[in-house]
């Protein structure tokens, strides 16, 4: 069961990262119309609507502490999404992603014990090779936004794991996403509404499914099967995914040193998967508390929809 949980959690994490980077690359096309913050706001707004309609969370599904966690998670989600959009508007996709990865890497190092500390260190070496900081010339504002996104991602990991342990299924996302949309609306919503067209609205709906509905749901489910160290290290593949998506979508060809960085982070991720399953007793306790089936994402969504009905 432990090995199966690890593999399933890792697969969910990989699927999440692919969706995130495809969604980020596709969002660039909206920057010229509604700006980076506007693109983040539109995606979060659609995501909040979709999750409310699909999940229909009930107040009885939340404890007081679980509900507060979801509220805080929503604010953190808005910060992470908007700062990352600002970062990729100023930096190459791979560079912004690598800098943002400092957040989960910090979580992995902080929560690591014994030999598991090796994998974050190896991943950090890969991040250095991917970003090539010795070249200089990067946009300072872009770096600042990417680091802010890194802080948001670190907080997001910890809050999502706590929410996943306290709240059934993806009900946590059905609360946190609308909260994130409200927070983003307070920052940039009024300035964007006048620039919306049907084409932009439809594009935003598609992007909301690609980022954040599907990946955030996958991450929440993955965090129930992987500990914080394993999940944070697995996310070290994010810069590699960003580089690959940059080649295919944005025609950014990586240097050989970046390829070496990818090899480092892949090695670190393999190590994390081998050591990363949450203990059998912890998984069993979580499943008993939430009465969830041991299945993939669609089964979890179906179970949550049935509970809501």
Alpha-carbon distance 264 to 266, whole Å? 6
Q: What is the pLDDT of residues 40-49, one digit of tens each?
A: 999 999 988 8
- Whether the per-residue pLDDT at 296 is higher than 50: the answer is no
> Tokens for 190?
């009024």
Q: State the residue range of the domain holding 302.
A: 2-308
Q: How many domains is the chain partitioned into structurally?
A: 1
| 111 confidence band (pLDDT: 50, 70, 90) | low
| Range 187-211 average pLDDT | 85
| Range 144-170 average pLDDT | 84
- Whether the per-residue pLDDT at 110 is higher than 80: the answer is no
| 149 confidence band (pLDDT: 50, 70, 90) | very high
Give the least confident one: 93-102, 173-182, 275-284: 275-284
Q: Which of 37, 86, 54, 40 is nearest to 204 (CA)?
A: 40
Q: 């069993």: which residue's tokens?
A: 284
How high is the mean pLDDT of the chain?
A: 78
Alpha-carbon distance 287 to 279, whole Å? 12
Q: pLDDT: is 291 or 69 the higher one?
A: 69
Alpha-carbon distance 225 to 66, whole Å? 19
| 105 confidence band (pLDDT: 50, 70, 90) | confident
Check residue 275 and give its pLDDT: 53
| Range 258-278 average pLDDT | 69
- Cα separation values, 44 from 25, 141, 254, Å: 16, 23, 30
Alpha-carbon distance 172 to 19, whole Å? 20
Q: What is the pLDDT of residues 216-260, one digit of tens each?
A: 778 878 888 887 667 777 777 778 888 889 888 888 777 788 778
Count helices and strands (H / E) in the chain. 14, 0
DSSP state of 91: S
Pick from 30-39, 46-55, 102-111 the range whose average pLDDT is largest. 30-39
């Amino acid at each position: 069961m432990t090995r199966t949980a690890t593999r399933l959690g890792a697969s969910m994490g990989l699927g999440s990262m692919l969706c995130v980077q495809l969604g980020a690359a596709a969002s660039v096309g909206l920057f010229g119309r509604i700006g980076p913050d506007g693109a983040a706001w539109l995606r979060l707004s659609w995501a909040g609507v979709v999750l409310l309609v699909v999940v229909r969370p009930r107040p009885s599904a939340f404890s007081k502490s679980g509900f507060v966690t979801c509220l805080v998670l929503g604010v953190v989600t808005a910060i992470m999404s908007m700062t990352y959009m600002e970062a990729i508007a100023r930096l190459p996709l791979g560079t912004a992603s690598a800098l943002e990865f400092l957040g989960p890497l910090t979580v992995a190092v902080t929560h690591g014990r014994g030999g598991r500390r090796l994998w974050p260190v190896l991943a950090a070496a890969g991040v250095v090779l991917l970003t090539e900081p010795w070249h200089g010339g990067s946009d300072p504002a872009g770096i600042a936004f990417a680091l802010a996104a890194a802080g948001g991602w670190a907080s997001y990991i910890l809050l999502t794991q706590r929410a996943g342990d306290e709240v059934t299924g993806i009900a946590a996302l059905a609360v946190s996403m609308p909260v994130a949309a409200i927070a983003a609306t307070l920052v940039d919503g009024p300035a964007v509404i006048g620039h919306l067209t049907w084409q932009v609205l439809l594009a935003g709906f598609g992007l909301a499914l690609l980022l954040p509905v599907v990946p955030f749901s996958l991450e929440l489910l993955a965090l129930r099967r992987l500990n914080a160290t394993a999940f944070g290290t697995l996310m070290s593949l994010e810069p590699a995914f960003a580089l690959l998506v940059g080649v295919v979508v944005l025609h950014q060809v990586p240097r050989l040193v970046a390829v070496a960085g990818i090899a480092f982070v892949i090695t670190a991720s393999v190590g994390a998967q081998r050591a990363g399953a949450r203990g059998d007793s912890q998984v069993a306790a979580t499943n008993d508390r939430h009465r969830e089936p041991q299945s993939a994402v669609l089964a979890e969504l179906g179970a949550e929809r049935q509970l809501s009905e």
